[in-house]
Amino acid sequence: MTSAPELRIGILGVARISGDAVVLPARALGHRLVAVASRDPARAQFFADLCAVERVAPSYEALLADPEVDVVYLPLPNALHARWTLAAIAAGKHVLCEKPLAATAEEARAVRAAAAAAGVHVHEAAHQLCHPLYTALARELDGLGKVRHAAAQITMRPPPPEDPRWSAGLGGGALMDLGCYGLQVLGWLGRWAGGGPEVVAAAAELRDGVDSRSTVRLVFPSGATGTVHASMVAADPAPHSLRIECEGGVLDVAGFVLPHLGGALTVLRADGRRSVTEFDAVSTYQHQLRRFAELVRAGRPMPTSLADSVATMALLDDARHRFH
């Protein structure tokens, strides 16, 4: 797999996702891991040693000031995404920010405006949409007519009590952590349903102000409907699933978030024909970093834009406002 010219990456914060999301893809694609910074210097040094990052920056600010860093990967807690993305933009860096892009749609709009003014590239890590699964899915959708209904489900076992996902102040909750994937995909489906969806209902089970599980119902301009269900308290998590019912058939996507882990696209056409497409083990994260490098170095567009990120954040805002 070819890649655009080398990126020089700084990692702002130490998080579990960083290994899969940037360290392994950077190694595979030939990009440099120049620096890492953490509020805990010992953790940063451990991470640097483990992942062969060239050096530890003494602070977030120092990493952003490093002239050898041209791209920042940002896996901080959700509530900190906009603050440090804006700081990276101000420092002239391109940013690959973990999802969701911000804590609110207002913050997301501020990021979008700042990136445009500075002439830098910022991408929300909707990594699943960078995978060839979605190219295949789009091809099938083009032949099956309008979407009538789409349903996404993503669940996980409970994170430990100290996990940021249990913190309302850090932007936690099942919808922000898991449901955002479903909302991103349903937003992407808008091209086959007359435009992006709107929230019509949302319900959640709350624990200390954070949704442990939630369900969002949506409607598209065409009249098509959608449902997103997310839970981070599942005793026996089901595989991530996406079902799309169209005029000409039904598409089932097993593992729609991480299709490289045994995901498959099954199409049942109205005439009874059935087909199954499986995908290789190249990760969504590697596809994402390859495409992000092509955006930064050659201006080639990603599958989603900051306008899409703002739209997803508006859906998240609307749904969460209905929880209380």
Structure tokens at 82: 């906009």
Q: Which of 72, 52, 75, 49 is nearest to 62 (CA)?
A: 72
Between CA 203 and CA 206 the distance in angstroms is 9
- The contacts of residue 4 (CB under 8 Å, 6+ apart) are 290, 293, 294, 296, 297, 298
Strand segments, DSSP code E, in the chain are: 8-12, 32-37, 55-56, 71-74, 94-97, 122-124, 147-155, 198-207, 210-219, 225-231, 241-246, 249-254, 264-269, 274-278
Element (H, E) at 49: helix 41-51
Cβ contact 4:292 at 8 Å: no
Which residue is it, tokens 């530890």? 56
- The contacts of residue 299 (CB under 8 Å, 6+ apart) are none
10 Å CB burial of residue 249 (0-12, 13-18, 19+) is: buried
- Residues known to be catalytic: 99
Between CA 19 and CA 38 the distance in angstroms is 15
